[in-house]
Amino acid sequence: MAQNALRMANSLSSWLAVAAIASGAAGVSAQDPTKSLPDSYSVVLENDYVLVVRAHYDAGAKLAEHTHPAGTTAYVYLNDSEGVVFQHSGNNTRSVTRPAVKAGAIRIAAGEEEHHTAENTSSTASDFLRIVFKTGNAGVRNLRQRLPPTEVEWANKQMKITRLRVKPGQNLLIEAKDYPTLRIALREGVKQWTPPPPDMLLWLDKGTTEEFAVTGDFPVDIIRIDFLTRP
């Protein structure tokens, strides 16, 4: 009888261990917003250097808690939108309200892993790209930088960001001469990208080129991000 009880106890312990592992895996998966919140976060490009996620917050949306990885991230805003409230949890519990942003503006941040909920308190949607760097930060930490749509160049040891305006009927030769490059094309006059058009993003490996032609009636802002460090 004692042996039966021992077998039952061992069986229960094994079952609980398996359940704990499964529960933990589910918890980790649920924290990835591209899996737990697919209507708000979707992967549009990924390689060894970068992960680009399109974020879309409906007007009034309240997003459940999720996790963003530590490291360097650049945000490219795709429309004019008002404040979004992020309620952080974990080691750094605080509430942060993102100020209003303009289409074409860029924000760069480098820091620790974040756990937060998000609430778009505005009557308009918020759309932006989260560009997560997989490259070494070259010693750059705790970076916080905002680049308005008029900023034409910014750089540190990890990246270089350049913005060029291309007029209708013009062509622009984009060369990834020394470093791999992410090219982003934002067409002036378009207020919302849902979903982003196929030509918005292009990855250029080192040594490759693109001839970008503006065929529409509006100028295009070309944002190029050169990756100066390796994964």
* Phi-psi category of residue 215: left, alpha or beta, with phi > 0 → left and psi -120 to 50 → alpha: alpha
What is the Cα 20 distance to its own chain's centre? Answer: 31
d(CA 173, CA 193): 24
Residue 62 CA, distance from chain mean position: 18
Task: For the chain, 231 residues long, give each residue's pLDDT as a single digit of tens.
Answer: 545 544 544 444 444 443 443 444 434 444 899 999 999 999 999 999 999 999 999 999 998 999 988 899 999 999 999 889 999 887 777 888 889 999 999 999 998 898 989 999 999 999 999 999 999 999 988 899 999 999 999 999 999 999 999 999 999 999 999 999 999 999 865 555 555 677 899 999 999 999 999 888 889 999 999 999 999
At residue 128, φ and ψ (nearest 5 deg) are -160, 165
Q: State the pLDDT at residue 31.
A: 85
**What is the Cα Rg of the chain in Å?**
22
The residues, any chain, with a CB within 8 Å of residue 144's CB and separated by 6 or more, are 108, 109
- d(CA 42, CA 54) in angstroms, rounded, equals 5
Select from 54, 99, 100, 103 the least CA-distant residue to 77: 103
The whole-angstrom separation of Cα 195 and Cα 72 is: 25
| H or E element, residue 8 | helix 2-31
Q: Which domains does the chain have, with CATH numbers?
A: 34-227 (2.60.120.10)
Distances (CA, A) of 136 to 110, 158, 195: 12, 7, 30
What's this model's pTM, rounded to 2 decimal places?
0.83
